[in-house]
Homo-oligomer: A and B are copies of this chain.
Amino acid sequence: MIVETLAIGTELLLGQIVNSNAADIASRLADAGMTHYRQGVIGDNRDRMDDAIRYATGRCDALIMTGGIGPTADDVTRESVAAVAGVPLITDEAYIEEMRERWKARGREFPESNIRQAQRPAGAQVIPNRKGSAPGFRMEIDGCWVISLPGVPAEMLTMLDEEVMPFLRSVAGPGLGITESRMLRTWGMSEARVGEELDDLFRELENPTVAFLASAGEIKIRLTANAPTSEKAKEIIAPVEAEIRERLGSLVFGADEDTIETVLHRMLRGKGWTFGSAESATGGLIARRMTALGGASEVFRGSIVAYATDLKVGLLGVDASEVEQHGVVSEETALSMARGARASLGVDVAVAVTGSAGPEPMEQPVGTMIVAVVTPEGESVRTLMMPGDRERIRAYTATAALHMVRRAIEP
């Protein structure tokens, strides 16, 4: 079952809105185990629409179109589908009456332009729209089911879930199977390196497939399997996941919805330890990320953002002469900050970050970031060289710091 999507709307081509419909439809198709090779976007233009529909119907089993079925003159999806199908437009008088009643019930005057929404290609079946006044429709053209839905996400999604996906499943029949996917989250290795470690799996495996996705210093590994049942699909994924975990060890820190914040929160709660940070170069980024979780207060007590050097001394009890001797951007100072945070915040585990985030270097070359972790069981400190601009350096360092805390308290 090969499905394509085609979004209609000049506002998409002007960059005024993002085509989130495409992603929502795509995830449904993936879950249903349907093949989705192409997405397209065109404007409210008859010629290009006819062209796109003809091209798509010639190569796929279903084409899901969004947009272009409103009441205004530039909504020409109905006309275009009818033209490609070689049928006239018919007008649904009953639906016109229904709309008139609805407007009357709301004490509003009925805009005659709405009548366009009661039209559809002859032979097309209506797809009711509970949330709006523009119904969708579907019709088969050259063995391809052309499905037309509104562009308004709330209306489109409801119709997709209630009408379109069940219909497509019935068309596809039982042969399709179920697709399950598993996302393994890793940190501590470049995408290139993860790719090398898993190259054979990536190349040889077809079910499950293995794909990589890099985001903010973390590399996600996605395993996608198709099978007659969800259980079977999961059984296909399990051994490959085990193999990858075997190869990458503690580089894999979580799966699916896990994030380093949720994983760390869970680990700390498990040990009954509280957590806090002393931040200079990251300026509160670590605190912000740990408090983004609801229920953060179970483990996170607070942070001292000591951006000015004298606050590192005043609030974190860092020894001024030590800063004098080693510098603000030094492993000694980072460690003192972490010890100080542990005391002043009254936490079991503290992480401290100091560094030179740019654009102007501070003591050390831009990108020199130092992270210290102090736990009831020991201390560790590491100097990182981070590439990129200030924003990237700070973000990646905050992620690295959270992972260093994880490593420090890992069994």
Which residues of A are at the interface with B, using a C-beta cutoff of 8 A? 10-20, 22-30, 36-43, 45, 48, 52, 70-74, 102, 105-108, 111-114, 131-132, 152, 154, 181, 190-193, 195-196, 199, 202-203, 211-214, 222, 224, 279, 282-288, 290-292, 294-297, 300-308, 310-311, 314-315, 344-346, 358-360, 385, 387-392, 394
Q: Which of B26, B30, B111, B344 contacts A196 (CB 8 A)?
A: B111
Contacts A114-B192, A288-B284 given: A30-B15 contact, CB under 8 Å?
yes
What does DSSP make chain A's interface, helix, strand, loop or mixed?
Answer: mixed
Which residue from chain B places its CB closest to the CB of A9 in the assembled complex? B213
Give every chain B residue within 8 A of A39 (Cβ-Cβ).
12-13, 19, 40-42
B43 A48 Cβ-Cβ under 8 A: no
B14 A26 Cβ-Cβ under 8 A: yes
Give Cα A300 to B283, complex, Å. Answer: 10
A-B contact pairs, 7 of them (CB 8 A): A11-B211, A15-B26, A16-B27, A17-B23, A72-B202, A131-B389, A284-B305
Q: How far is the CB of A272 from chain B (nearest CB, A)?
A: 15
Q: Which of B10, B38, B191, B388 contacts A40 (CB 8 A)?
A: B38
B283 A195 Cβ-Cβ under 8 A: no
Give every chain B residue within 8 A of A193 (Cβ-Cβ).
111, 113
Give Cα A152 to B396, complex, Å. Answer: 15
A195 B113 Cβ-Cβ under 8 A: yes
B283 A290 Cβ-Cβ under 8 A: yes
Give every chain B residue within 8 A of A358 (Cβ-Cβ).
294
A283 B291 Cβ-Cβ under 8 A: yes
Given A15-B29, A15-B30, A294-B358, 5 more pairs with CB closer than 8 A: A15-B26, A74-B202, A107-B385, A302-B306, A303-B304
B40 A295 Cβ-Cβ under 8 A: no
Instruction: Name the residue among A17, A279, A305, A345 with the largest chain B CB count within 10 angstroms.
Output: A305
Give Cα A24 to B19, complex, Å. Answer: 11
Contacts A27-B14, A37-B42, A294-B360 given: A113-B196 contact, CB under 8 Å?
yes
Give every chain B residue within 8 A of A107 (Cβ-Cβ).
385
Which residue from chain B places its CB closest to the CB of A388 in the assembled complex? B131
Give every chain B residue within 8 A of A29 (Cβ-Cβ).
15
B195 A71 Cβ-Cβ under 8 A: yes
Give every chain B residue within 8 A of A314 (Cβ-Cβ).
344, 346
A72 B212 Cβ-Cβ under 8 A: yes
Q: Which of B18, B190, B305 contacts A19 (CB 8 A)?
A: B18
Give Cα A284 to B74, complex, Å. Answer: 37
Give every chain B residue within 8 A of A15 (Cβ-Cβ).
22-30
Give Cα A28 to B346, complex, Å. Answer: 51
Give Cα A30 to B43, complex, Å. Answer: 13
Give every chain B residue within 8 A of A300 (Cβ-Cβ).
283, 307
A191 B70 Cβ-Cβ under 8 A: yes
A305 B292 Cβ-Cβ under 8 A: no
Which residue from chain B places its CB closest to the CB of A285 in the assembled complex? B288
B283 A307 Cβ-Cβ under 8 A: no
Which residue from chain B places its CB closest to the CB of A36 in the assembled complex? B13
Give every chain B residue within 8 A of A22 (Cβ-Cβ).
12, 15, 18-19, 41
